[in-house]
Amino acid sequence: MSSVATFKQDPHRLLVIPGPIEVADDVLYANAHPSMSHVSAEFVPVLGDCIRMTREVLLTATGQPFLIAGSGTLVLQVASNLVEPDEDVLVLNTGYFGDSFAECLQTYGAKVDHITAEVGGVVSQADIESALKSKKYKIVTFTHVDTSTGVLSDAKSIAETVKKVSPETLTVLDGVCSVASEEIRMDDWGIDVVLTASQKGLGTPPGLSILVASQKAIKVYESRKVPPNSYYASWKKWLPVMQAYEKGSPAYFATPPVNLIYAYHASLTRITKGSPNLTERLKLHKLASQKIKAAAKGLGLRQVPLDDNFAANGMSAFYFPEGVTGPDVLPRLFKKDVIVAAGLHKAMKEKYFRVGFEHMGISVVDERRGDIDKVIASIKEAIGEAIESKKV
């Protein structure tokens, strides 16, 4: 096997869907680590470091990370740990993933109210304040970046409103598509739970469900009247495991994804200890986002977010030109070795496409790759070809 210094991925199509994303060579190399016992002296500090570095990414001193084998969807297990039957939850809905979170909450017995933004819009702070004054909610949850619309919600303002109007209510941020590409100051803003996954801004192959809970959220969990109604996702099982590994001792409930933890460690090391640093990475994401959105505007493409102020920096969503559809464009991009994503939002699924993470992760921080320029050029060519084909 080659060394990490000489390892290079084989040539492949550029993956720019809303996750999984392109990963760095050293991260992929770490994923190929020889098989290792999850309770070995070699592995224990690797998982312990991952727990600590996850805190660094979210700028929290006391948040409790949970790193569990599973899809990003598994992070919705927060519902089984914090919500008891018939408790009220408010979902700030900006797209497909607001619907998904609400369905999960209802599965675990919550009574869910929605404030649903118009397509491409965000929920107003006034509407949030009004809802919080009308009823006592256990949790307010929102999708920081909804990949179905490319909309970025104002996490800081949402948390401030909740704290002002209903300080006992927990604020839960679905950051699957925002962690490490959008600013999140968990402690400073008063976010109680951040949910995410390995395969997007954190730049690791898929398969790791990542959740960080504030001490306030942990205390709410510990004061439950009935046990959690999930076995695999129960914090009762996972909290002592996470605490043990961070202290340098192995513990067991279920086998962690050892190789994926090695890959996650490599990516976190890049993010928290490498160059560019986290602050610089976030600035680069904004610059990359502005570049591709400006290029799309130059092509006459209209983005789904209704305002640049709440357009995500790690992905973009654009409407097709009039008379052009996904089958006209996506196969042409595929032939140019660029893979983008079709629409997802039920209200307009056939009318738009999503350019995921050519402006996230390694594609942003390593300009030598030329990923952003390749995507822009390929979209320009594919759209032009699609329009020309309609004239025949």
Known binding-site positions: 354
Residue list for the binding site for substrate: 354
Q: What's the CA gap between 267 and 163, in Å, rounded?
A: 33
Peptide bond just before 65 cis, omega within 30 deg = no
Write out the chain in H/E/C secondary structure.
Answer: CCCCCCCCCCCCCEECCCCCCCCCHHHHHHHCCCCCCCCCCCCHHHHHHHHHHHHHHHCCCCCEEEEEECCHHHHHHHHHHHCCCCCEEEEEECCHHHHHHHHHHHHCCCEEEEEECCCCCCCCHHHHHHHHHHCCCCEEEEECEECCCCEECCHHHHHHHHHHHCCCCEEEEECCCCECCECCCHHHHCCCEEEEECCCCCCCCCCEEEEEECHHHHHHHHCCCCCCCCCCCCHHHHHHHHHHHHHCCCCCCCCCCHHHHHHHHHHHHHHHHCCCCHHHHHHHHHHHHHHHHHHHHHCCCCECCCCHHHECCCCEEEECCCCCCHHHHHHHHHHCCEECEECCCCCCCCCEEEECHHHCCHHHHCHHHCHHHHHHHHHHHHHHHHHHHHHC
Are the C-beta atoms of 318 and 345 separated by less than 8 Å?
Answer: no
- How crowded is residue 269: how many other Cβ atoms within 10 Å of its Cβ? 16
Maximum CA extent, the chain: 68
